[in-house]
Structure 1
Amino acid sequence: MTAHKQDRQATTAPRDRGAGGSLRGGLAATAQALAAKGRDHRIDALRGVALLMMFIDHIPQDLLNRFTMRNVGFADAAEVFVLLAGYASWLAYGRGFEKYGVVVTLKRLFRRCVQLYIGQTIMVAVYVFTIRIWRHFTPVSVDYLEPELAHGMSWVWRVMMFDALPSNLNILPLYIVLLAGFPVFYLLVRAQHSLALLLAGALWLLVNLDPALNFPNWLDPDGWYFNPLAWQFLFALGLSASAEAQRHGGNFPHRTWLVVLCWGYLGFSALQAFPWVLWGLPDLRPFGDAVAPAKTWLSPLRLLDVVAIFYLVQSSVAARRWSAESGIGQALACVGRHSLEVFVVGTVLDLYARLIFSTFGESWLLQVGVNVVGLAILFSVAFWLDRRRNVRVRAPRTPGAPAV
C-alpha cells in the first residue's frame, strides 16, 4: 500500500465511524489519558449518576424520580454529591499544598469558590427573571420561588450574602462553605488525622443532639436546609477516604465481612425507605413511620447509607474497570468531570420542567419529552466541555507559554 493511500485512509477513518463512533473514541481516549495520570473514574461516574438523579429528583411531577436512589435507601444524590466533593477536594487541593505550595493552592481554592458563587448567581438570576416573565402569561405557584423573593428587589443582597437560600438553590452555598473551611481541616489533618476526624464527628453529633444549631436563613426559621455544621462531617469523611485510598492504590481494602455488612444495611434501608404505598403494594417497612431520618442535620441512618454505598464502589475492582472501559461508564464519568456546569444547567432545566408540567399538564408525552430532552442536554453539555478541554490540552504551545 502506498503512503498516499495510507494517508487518505487515515483521514477518512473518523468520518466512516460517524458521530457516535467519534464520540465513543473521544471518551475512551480521555479515559485512557486520565487513567494514565492515576484518575479514578469510579469517582467521576458516581458523581455523574448523582448529578443526573438530582436533576430528576428536583422535578416533583416527574414520574422518573420514582426510580432514583432515594426510593431504595435513606440517602439520596445530595449525600453522594457532598461525599464525593470532599473526596475530590483532597485530590485537587490536599496534595496541592505539598506539590504547589500554600499560596498557589489557596489561590486555586479561592478561584473554585468564586466559580461556585458565579454558578449560584446565574441560577438565582435565571429563576427570578423566568418566573416573573412566566407570570405575565399564566399563574405560577409561589412554591417555585419563595414569596418574599417573588416581589421587589430588596432581597437581592440577602441571597448574595447567603442570608436567604431559596429552595433547590441551596447546595452550592453549602459546597462553598465546606470548601472555604478546607484549609482548617487540612491543618488539623497535618497535626493529627484521627483528631481532625474526631472533631468533625463531634460537631456532627452535637447538631444531631440539638438541631437548632444551624446557619440563619431569612426564608426559613429553621435555618439552612443543608446544615453546614452537620454536613461538614460527610465532607470530612470524603477527604479522609481520599487520603486513605491513596495509600492503597486508589482502592479501599476489600473485606468480605464488611461487604456483607454493607449489603445487609442497604437491604434494610431499601425495605424501610421504599414507597410501598405509592406503588400500591403491601407496606413491608420493618418500622413503619417510626423511622424518618432527617436530611437537614444528616441523621446517622442517612450517613451510614451513603458510606456503605461508597465503600462497596471504591472497594470493587470490577466497578473501577467498568467505569473506565464501558461506554456507559465513560459517559457517566464525562458528566461527573464537569459537575459544576452540569449541575447549573440541570437546575435551570428543573425550573423549566416544573413550569411546563404545571402549565400544560403531566401527560406521558410531556413526561417523555422533558426527560429525554433534559438528559440529552446534560450529556451534550458534558461531552462538549470534554471535547473542548481535550482540544485545548492538545493545542501546540508557543515557547514560554504556560501549560493549560
Structure 2
Amino acid sequence: MTNSNSFPRPRRDHRVDALRGAALAMMFVDHIPDNLLNRLTLRNLGFCDAAEIFVLLAGFASMLAYGRAFAREGVGAALSKLGRRIGRLYVYHIGMLLVSIGVVTQWRHYYPVPVRFLEPELAHGFASLWRAMLLYAQPASLNILPLYIVLLGLFPLVYLTSRAGIGVALALSGALWALINLYPQINLPNWFDPDGWFFDPFAWQFLFTLGAMAAITTQQNGGDLPRHRWIVTAAWTYLGFSAMQAFPWSDWNLPNLAPFDIAPPQKTPLSPLRLIDVLSIFYLVQSSARMSRAAASRGGQVLAVLGRHSLEVFAVGTTLDLLAQLLFVTWGNPWLLQIGINVVGLGGLLLLARWLDRRKSARRPAMVRHAAGHAPHHGAAAS
C-alpha cells in the first residue's frame, strides 16, 4: 500500500516551475489567434498544448501542498487550505470576467468589436453575469479556472483513493476517463454551449490525478521519476510521430508529411492521443537530471519565475491577450504590431513575476521572525 504521508518535504524542483512557466508563456501566445508566433508553440508541434501541461502540474503541485496538509495537519486544516485556494481561484475568475466585459464594452464605444470576443449574451453588458458567476455559463476564453476549481474540489477524493495505493487511484480515475471517451455527452452543463464544458471535468480529472500520483512517486524516488531507457525511447518516438502529424504544414507552404490522415484528437474528453503526448513530455522532463540542471540555470529560471506565480501571470496574460486581439481586429496584424505585442506582453509578464518574487522574498524574513516569536517554549507549554 502506498503511504503518501511518508514522502518528505522536497527541495524546490525547478523543473516543475520551468515547465509551468513555459506553459503560461505558450498560453499567452496561443490565445492571440492572429499571432504568427503561435505556429511555434506546443499545440502545433504535437497533439497536446499548454492546457494539458497546466492541469497535469496542478495535480502534481496539489499533492505536494494539500496531500502533505492532510497527512501532517489533519483533515480540518487541509480542507481549510483547499477552501481558501478555491476561493482565490474563484475571485480571480470573476475578476477576469468583469475586466473582459468592461474592456469589450468600452472598446465598442469607439471601434466595432465582433461578438466572438465574448459570448453574445455577455457582449452587450452584465445581464447574464449571474450565470457566469455560478460557472454555469463559461466564455470560451475563460474556461480553464472553472476546471481547476472543480479539480481542487475533487482533491480530497483523489487523496483518499491514493491512500489505498497509486494503482487504485489511477484505476478508478482512469475508468471514469475511459467512460467519458466512450460517452462524451457526459459533461457539466454550459449555458453558452449545448455540448457542455469545453474541458470536461469528468475526463480531465484523470490528468489531474496522474499528476498527483506522479508527485507521490517522485518524492519516493528522490524527486525524480524512475528513468528507464525503453520508456525514454518510446516517449521520444511518440513525440516525433505527434509532431509530424500535428505540424501545420500548409501554413508554412510545405508538403504534408503527416504519416496518417486522421482527425485532430478531441480536447474536450481528453482523447488518448493528447493524454499520451503530455505524459511523454512530463516523463522526459521529470526523469532527467539534465533537465533539472537546465531548469536551475539562468535561462531556466526565466521560465521558473513565471511558474512560481502562475495564477497572477495567467490572469494578467489573459487580459493582455484580450487587448492584443482587440488591437488586431481594429488595426490588423502587421509584423511590427505582432512583434510589439509579443515583446511587451511576454516582457510584462516576466516583470510581474519577478516583482512578485522579490515581494515574496522580502516578506519571508518577517514571517519567519513572526513565527519564531510565537513559537512555544520547551516543556509543558510546548506539549
**TM-score bracket relative to the smaller structure:** over 0.9
Q: Using the TM superposition, give the Cα deviation of residue 331 of structure 1 relative to its aligned residue in structure 2, in angstroms.
A: 1.6
Q: Using the TM superposition, give the Cα deviation of residue 66 of structure 1 relative to its aligned residue in structure 2, in angstroms.
A: 0.7
Residue aligning to 2:270:
298
Cα distance in 2 for partners of 1:265, 1:365 equals: 37
Q: Which amino acid aligns with 2:114?
A: S
Residue aligning to 1:377:
348
Q: Using the TM superposition, give the Cα deviation of residue 338 of structure 1 relative to its aligned residue in structure 2, in angstroms.
A: 0.3
Residue aligning to 2:167:
194
**Contact 2:265-2:273 at 8 Å conserved across structures:** yes
Aligned-partner SS, 1:284: coil
Cα distance in 1 for partners of 2:125, 2:117 equals: 16
- TM-score w.r.t. the length of structure 1 is 0.88
Aligned-partner SS, 2:249: coil
Residue aligning to 1:156:
129
Residue aligning to 1:279:
252
Cα distance in 2 for partners of 1:359, 1:327 equals: 38
Q: Which amino acid aligns with 2:29?
A: I
Equivalent residue for 1:366, pick from 337, 344, 358: 337
Residues 177-326 of structure 1 mapped to structure 2, 5 A cutoff: 177-288=150-261, 290-324=262-296, 326=297
Please state if 1:65 is matched with 2:41. Answer: no
Q: Using the TM superposition, give the Cα deviation of residue 254 of structure 1 relative to its aligned residue in structure 2, in angstroms.
A: 1.2
Residue aligning to 1:3:
none
Q: Using the TM superposition, give the Cα deviation of residue 191 of structure 1 relative to its aligned residue in structure 2, in angstroms.
A: 2.7
Query: Residues 152 and 354 of structure 1: is their aligned pair in 2 closer, same or farther, counting only changes over 3 Å?
Result: closer
Please state if 1:97 is matched with 2:64. Answer: no
Cα distance in 2 for partners of 1:98, 1:225 equals: 34
Aligned-partner SS, 2:265: coil
**Contact 2:105-2:125 at 8 Å conserved across structures:** no
Please state if 1:136 is matched with 2:109. Answer: yes
**Contact 2:162-2:168 at 8 Å conserved across structures:** yes
Equivalent residue for 1:333, pick from 290, 297, 304: 304
Cα distance in 2 for partners of 1:329, 1:167 equals: 31
**Contact 2:117-2:123 at 8 Å conserved across structures:** no
Cα distance in 2 for partners of 1:286, 1:193 equals: 36
Cα distance in 2 for partners of 1:133, 1:272 equals: 42
Cα distance in 1 for partners of 2:238, 2:213 equals: 22
Q: Using the TM superposition, give the Cα deviation of residue 40 of structure 1 relative to its aligned residue in structure 2, in angstroms.
A: 0.7
Cα distance in 1 for partners of 2:181, 2:373 equals: 54
Task: Please say which of residues 148-157 and 302-311 is displaced more in the overlay.
Answer: 148-157
Residues 10-29 of structure 1 mapped to structure 2, 5 A cutoff: none
**Contact 2:101-2:125 at 8 Å conserved across structures:** no
Q: Using the TM superposition, give the Cα deviation of residue 131 of structure 1 relative to its aligned residue in structure 2, in angstroms.
A: 0.4
Aligned identity (percent) is: 58
Q: Which amino acid aligns with 1:370?
A: I
How big is each residue's C-alpha offset from its partner over 1:248-279, in whole Å with a ceiling of 9 and x where there is no partner?
Answer: 00101111111011000000000100000110
Q: Using the TM superposition, give the Cα deviation of residue 192 of structure 1 relative to its aligned residue in structure 2, in angstroms.
A: 3.6
Aligned-partner SS, 1:165: coil
Larger radius of gyration: 1
**Contact 2:200-2:268 at 8 Å conserved across structures:** yes
Gaps of 5+ in 1: 1-35
- TM-score w.r.t. the length of structure 2 is 0.93
Cα distance in 2 for partners of 1:122, 1:39 equals: 30
How big is each residue's C-alpha offset from its partner over 1:342-391, in whole Å with a ceiling of 9 and x where there is no partner?
Answer: 00000000000000111111111101110000001100110000000000
Residue aligning to 1:122:
95
Runs of 4 or more above 6 Å deviation: none
Equivalent residue for 2:146, pick from 163, 173, 177: 173
Q: Using the TM superposition, give the Cα deviation of residue 86 of structure 1 relative to its aligned residue in structure 2, in angstroms.
A: 0.3
How big is each residue's C-alpha offset from its partner over 1:40-60, in whole Å with a ceiling of 9 and x where there is no partner?
Answer: 110000000000000000000
Cα distance in 2 for partners of 1:199, 1:168 equals: 31
Aligned-partner SS, 1:277: helix
Q: Which amino acid aligns with 2:216?
A: A
Aligned-partner SS, 1:59: coil
Equivalent residue for 1:74, pick from 32, 36, 47: 47
Q: Using the TM superposition, give the Cα deviation of residue 135 of structure 1 relative to its aligned residue in structure 2, in angstroms.
A: 0.4
Task: Please say which of residues 175-184 and 95-104 is displaced more in the overlay.
Answer: 95-104
Equivalent residue for 2:57, pick from 60, 80, 84: 84
Q: Which amino acid aligns with 2:198?
A: Y
How big is each residue's C-alpha offset from its partner over 1:209-262, in whole Å with a ceiling of 9 and x where there is no partner?
Answer: 011000000000000000000000000000001101111001011111110110
Cα distance in 2 for partners of 1:335, 1:283 equals: 35
Q: Using the TM superposition, give the Cα deviation of residue 401 of structure 1 relative to its aligned residue in structure 2, in angstroms.
A: 4.9
Please state if 1:147 is matched with 2:120. Answer: yes
